[in-house]
Amino acid sequence: MLPETRHENPDWLDALRETGAEVFAATGLPTPANEDWKYSSLRKYEKEGFQISDIIGEIDTNDLPKKLLDKRIVFVNGFFQPRLSDQVEGLKAVSLLDWLSNEPEAVQENLVDVGNLSDMPLKAENTAHIRDGVALVLDAGVHIEKPIEILYLSTTKGVEVKPKYYLRNLFVLHDGAHLNVLENYQGQGTYAVNHVCDIALHENAEFKHYRLQNEDKNAYHFCHTRLMHHARSSYETVTCTRGACFSRHDIQSLLIGAEVSCNINGLYMLNGVQHFDTKILADHMEPNGVSKQLYKGILDDETRAVFQGKVHVRRPAQGTDGRQLSHAVLLSTAAEIDAKPELEIYADDVQCAHGATSGALDEDPLFYMQSRGIPKDQARRLLLGSFLSEVIEDIDCAAIQSIFQAQIDDWLLSHQGAL
């Protein structure tokens, strides 16, 4: 089944696609020669021979994983599935093509990139293949406090090639709107996903945005998130990563308004030969903004993690509070973590700090717990679980917190022999 194109595209969208195609043709896939990809190679990905696919197949509710929350919006192979999705009162889930026919200026404002696509080759590739997507819009003053699950299911069912799927989403929260979302990435088979998410937070908007990346262990997961923060808006995100053989998440947080709050946190649990790469930019442009980054992970076997976090404080952004931390526990001598925290500050009145640690599990508390009669395997699980749980302890939604805690407990239990 192929999605149908229902509207004639405006000239600016065709031009945007052409720009993306031209940039990607010129740059190609990023290599370690690119500073942002210094620690990550896509040679194995390139050898897989993934091909673009628009095939969705015959998917029904029996093909979907169990719901994590009461309300769920469903995407399959990059396309919105209204018939499999729940209606959420107050939330407008609008096809980009439908929105283009009614409010083309609003789409253009939120879709056109203000950056240089040549610095973001995979986003350029996604831009070249924009066909449809969904804008999730909250009108001014609308509060949806109960969390919503957004399921992104990728499947090779009915597909004869190794498929590559593209997805483009917009979240637009108008003045004073509040939204709480859990994005759940799942899949079966060998496939690649290139997902771009643009988020616009208008004045006093509040977005709590959680991500569970649990793709198939044979999958490749690429995601680029861009945030536009207007005055006094608030953003909180926690990403839990345990899936995909290779995953990369680029987060571009543009704090263009004053008194903005932005917390970008994550935890990861890796085994086998998994590779996980995160790159974060918190760009403070106006006064009295707060940004915090905390990433913690466990690496076993021959896994590799990369954390590149940057806080950029421009001259007008006096009163900025910007902090970032990366901590990793390595359970194997073959595991590796590369951390590159950065501060670039041009303002005088700021409070900024960064730090990174990595190493084996501390033997002293482990010995203490064993001396109190706790078996070694259980003691290691308790210590590792406590280490990761710090990332989720400030989540004020009990349902989301319990979902992440269950992921931590499940991973530790399934690897108890290795621990």
Please report whether residue 334 resides in a domain: no
Amino acid at 340: K
pLDDT at 116 over 90: no
pLDDT greater than 90 at residue 14? no
Tell me whether residue 236 is in a domain: yes
| Confidence band, pLDDT 50/70/90 cuts, at residue 6 | very low
Which region among 156-160, 246-250, 340-344 has the lowest average model confidence (pLDDT)? 156-160
pLDDT tens for 331-388 read: 999 999 999 999 999 999 999 999 999 999 888 888 888 888 898 888 999 999 999 9
Measure the CA–CA gap between 325 and 131, rounded to whole angstroms.
38
pLDDT in tens, 41-99: 999 999 999 999 888 877 888 889 999 999 999 999 988 898 999 999 999 888 777 77
Q: What is the pLDDT of residues 275-301, one digit of tens each?
A: 999 999 999 999 999 999 999 999 999
In a domain, 296, yes or no: no
Question: Which residue, 237, 257, 277, sits at the end of a domain?
Answer: 257
State which of 257, 283, 315 marks the end of a domain: 257
Q: How many structural domains compose the chain?
A: 2
- Asked if residue 28 and residue 177 are part of one domain, the reply reads yes
CB–CB of 293/322 below 8 Å?
A: no
Q: Look at residue 278 and tell me if it is in a domain.
A: no
Q: Where are the beta strands (DSSP E) in 96-191?
A: 134-138, 143-155, 163-173, 178-188
Does residue 418 surpass a pLDDT of 70? no
Which range of residues forms the domain containing residue 387?
A: 361-419
Q: Which residue has the tokens 């404080």?
A: 313
Contact 149, 177 (CB under 8 A): no
Q: What is the pLDDT of residue 332?
A: 95
Phi and psi torsions of 146, nearest 5°:
-75, 130
Is residue 320 situated within a structural domain? no
- Comparing 73-82, 189-198, 400-409, which segment has the lowest mean pLDDT? 73-82
Q: What is the DSSP letter of 230?
A: -
Longest dimension (CA), the chain: 72
Rounded-to-10 torsion of CA 196, 62, 241, 52: -40
Domain-embedded: residue 311? no
Question: pTM above the 0.85 mark?
Answer: yes
